[in-house]
Amino acid sequence: MLKQGWVALGLLVAAVIWAMITSWRLLYHVSYALAFILVLSLLLTINDLLGVQVERAIRTHRSQAGKYFDEEFVLVNRGWLPKRWLEVRDHSTLPGHRAGRVISGLGPRQRYIWAVRTYCGRRGRFRLGPLSLHSGDPFGFFFLSRRLASEEELIVYPHMVDLPGLQLPFGELSGGTAMRRRTQHVTDQVAGVREYVHGDSFNRIHWKSTARVGRLISKEFELEPVTDIWLYLDLDAHMHVSAPWAEEVDRSGPALLWSERRPPPLPPSTAEYAVSAAASLAKQLLSMGRAVGLVAYGQKREVMPADRGPRQLVKLLEALAVLEASGTVPISLVLEAEARHLHRGTGLIIITPAFDLEWVRVAQAVGMRGVRLAVVLIAGESFAPAPPIAPVQAALMSSGILCTVVRRGDDLADRLRFTAGG
């Protein structure tokens, strides 16, 4: 009950008491009128909330930073009485998500449908919902709400760019066929045939052998002798910097034109640039048939074994979506702890804004063991006051380690080509 309702209730009580004391008939009529209005207002408000159902239709539970997320809402009046007005509130955690609506004059057995388009400006895991219904009476005496328990989850992948011209010195391993091994993935290298196993896809069936023996025969494949590639993402909080950023999106135009507007660039944060670089490299390398693994010390130690295929890309993107630059372990210690397990010929890409030279010495020692190195340097001084990255770049180049420098506003598709000169 709102403040006006308590005032009306107080007047009703006062009128009843005064009428009983004075026996004044007018006060009785006033009491009856106030009681009628209060009861009617409460019944109207309750009626607006009963028999109403809200459904949320989501095409996909995954999106990507820099893209739009679409969903549709359907509000249905399943009752036999009209609803005067309803307010739908959404309690999602997705930034910039505005799904609330005010609906008036919804007739019996009618429905109201509206679409919502939200720009995903930040990666992460977000909650969609729950929804709540609110309504009140014409006199402002009551304002009631009803909470709907429906909740969904949305994962926003990091911003990614295509890297069709990516060239890394991580080619075939020496040793020829001796380095080949059997795999469940379909590749260009057929190792032999075997009996069909339930679950084998049709593109694995060897039809000539099947026709010859009269039963299903499947092909076996082997991996090409190419290097596994590991992405070491530096999430040391002491090395990352960021600049102020207002997460604003202009929605003044029609919804159909929102998708035509150029999305804003990456947030001015070394962590966001580093995560975006890792996601872009993983996507491109996996599309090239490489096995990609990830090591990151953020909120916790995150190690994903090297694997290939679309499922590995989903795993990597889901991990990168929620990683934060809140780690306390410097990249030098990460290299000492994790790189010792890398065998000769393995490819290692280090993505870091670290401006100290200690980790460079550790990287040089790793490279001397036969691990092939490449470094993506995020220049923190281009985002906020920070030590220059030039000494680190010079030390890497003098050691023969391939590196590229990414600064604020750079096109990642151009900088991640690892062209000569950084």
CA distance 321 to 248: 21
pLDDT of residue 24: 82
pLDDT of residue 396: 94
30-34, 217-221, 337-341, 357-361: which has the minimum mean pLDDT?
A: 217-221
CA distance 403 to 393: 7
Same domain (yes/no): 61, 185? no
Same domain (yes/no): 205, 280? no
Same domain (yes/no): 181, 298? no
Same domain (yes/no): 188, 296? no
Per DSSP bridges, beta strands 111-119 and 143-148 are: unpaired
Q: What is the dihedral of CA 256, 257, 260, 265, to 10 degrees?
A: -110
2-11, 101-110, 346-355: which has the minimum mean pLDDT?
A: 2-11
pLDDT of residue 263: 53
- Nearest 5°: the CA angle 108, 110, 112 is 135
Q: Give the CATH number, domain containing residue 259.
A: 3.40.50.410
Average pLDDT over residues 17-22: 84
pLDDT of residue 179: 43
Residue 167 lies in a domain: no
The confidence band for 174, taking pLDDT boundaries of 50, 70 and 90, is: very low
Residues with Cβ < 8 Å from 95, sequence gap 6 or more? 121, 122, 247
Give Cα 3 distance to the centre of its chain: 43
The confidence band for 215, taking pLDDT boundaries of 50, 70 and 90, is: confident
The confidence band for 422, taking pLDDT boundaries of 50, 70 and 90, is: very low
Same domain (yes/no): 137, 246? no
Task: Assess contact for 204 and 219: CB atoms under 8 A.
Answer: yes
Same domain (yes/no): 283, 409? yes
Same domain (yes/no): 262, 367? yes
The confidence band for 15, taking pLDDT boundaries of 50, 70 and 90, is: confident
| Per-residue pLDDT tens over the stretch 218-273 | 777 554 445 789 999 999 999 999 988 765 454 434 444 444 444 556 889 999 99
Q: In what order do the strands lie in the sheet with 217-222?
A: 182-183, 217-222, 190-195
| Per-residue pLDDT tens over the stretch 114-170 | 999 999 989 999 999 899 999 998 888 888 999 987 789 999 999 999 988 787 766
Give Cα 5 distance to the centre of its chain: 45
pLDDT of residue 2: 65
Same domain (yes/no): 395, 249? yes
Same domain (yes/no): 54, 181? no
Residue 386 lies in a domain: yes
pLDDT of residue 173: 43
DSSP 236: B
CA distance 322 to 19: 67
Q: Tokens 């990255």 map to which residue?
A: 389
> Which three-class secondary structure state does DSSP give residue 252?
coil
Residue 292 lies in a domain: yes
Model pTM greater than 0.85? Answer: no
Same domain (yes/no): 120, 77? yes
Parent domain of 142 = 1-157
| Per-residue pLDDT tens over the stretch 315-325 | 999 999 999 99
Average pLDDT over residues 73-89: 93
Residue 421 lies in a domain: no
pLDDT at 62 over 70: yes
pLDDT of residue 139: 84
The confidence band for 6, taking pLDDT boundaries of 50, 70 and 90, is: confident
Residue 170 lies in a domain: no
pLDDT of residue 167: 75
| Per-residue pLDDT tens over the stretch 262-304 | 455 688 999 999 999 999 999 999 998 889 999 999 989 999 9
Q: What is the domain count for the chain? A: 3
pLDDT of residue 126: 96
Q: In what order do the strands lie in the sheet with 152-157?
A: 62-64, 152-157, 124-128
Query: What is the rounded radius of gyration, in angstroms, for the C-alpha atoms of the chain?
Result: 32
